[in-house]
Chains A and B, each alone.
Chain A
Amino acid sequence: MSAMQSVRNGRSPTGQMRRGPSPCDCGGHAESEPTGDTLISARDLWLRRGERDIIAGVDLDIRQGEIVTLIGPNGAGKTTLVKLLLGIAKPDRGHVIRPSSTRIGYAPQRFEVDPAIPMTVEGFLRLGTEVSPAAVATALAEVGALRIKRQQLSRLSGGETQRVLIARALLRHPNLLILDEPARGVDFSGEAELYEMIGRLRDRRQLGVLLVSHDLHVVMAKSDRVICLNGHVCCSGKPEDVSQHPEYARIFGAQGALALGVYRHHHDHAHDLTGELKPISDVEAQGRGS
């Protein structure tokens, strides 16, 4: 309750910038001033829906060539934060800095194409962008999906869909990839492969990558930095430091392996800290439809 109170105060009419519920920096890492190779920055982002602060005082920087993973339980505001970074949603307070040199390639969380829309993979990659068939083939080859070029988009598997989305993002010549739950609907071995591929893309193209995930261990190995989000930034830093952090343990460790198993397998609900069931993120539901 007191946390909620402080949040309310934080939104005082004077509009003064105030920090959210104290972000505990772990591993000595704190968001500093944006530097020259910063691709995107967020400063003190706040977003309220109804009575709840979905995003509470979030700071974030992503630099060229680093893979940053955003983890957090369902309903932690991960997708909302991504939407704020992309400019799809507007924050109530705070701001996002996107230097003009930043080109973002984005792959959304759920991409379930209505079977009523006839569209081949190739047609989708060329839609709305001036790209040659050769460029399409190159992008598909780069994500290992060349053989599905002529398939209908609505018939792809989860892993194929993610690869196609990343190929589309690559065709925009990005220096920053934002991938929202790329492992969704992908089996365990496919997941490891997918992260391998993302790592290779980063190495080859010197991309900055923001990965959203609620699966932990596979992601950890590939990340340069992990940000643990639960409305506010609980902790952030190198993967090994974050995994030692008490906040991280509280969110992911308190319920131990059980919680991990739950996050991995059941995406239709989440557990709050007292173990009560919560409906799936309101945010995600609100993001859909017109």
Chain B
Amino acid sequence: MPVDRSVLGKEYPPFVYEVEKGKIRELAEALEDPNPLYRDEKVARSTKYGGLIGSPTFLTCFRSPDWSMLDLIKDLKADIGKLLHGEQEYEYFRPIRPGDKLTCKLKIKDIYTKEGKAGPMDMVVTETDYVNDKGELAARARAVLVIRS
């Protein structure tokens, strides 16, 4: 069944995510990435970075307390068993540091259909802006979700 296209353009309630160093480390441990900038405050402080920073995919940890991707799947009237994460892209404008409070705004940017090997697939594109407390864009994410028919 095709997804509900009426959610095209929908903006989900913005939320503020406060970066914690333990979370940066936890993600690095799950990735088995030994980079000390995610793990060792003493080493990180002695570098030009001046302290710990988030790893390239750290933004994936930023989740709203009020809604989740499961709500987005429900809004699309899609079955989670048919969902695949097709693509993900991040653009980085400023380092993400412990203590940063970032306002995260996700919107459904595009919905289109693509012919797959097993029939048509719905492609849902989301875009998320991460804005710091000075109002500067720190990063931008773009995701393509694939819903198999």
Q: Are A and B part of the same complex?
A: no
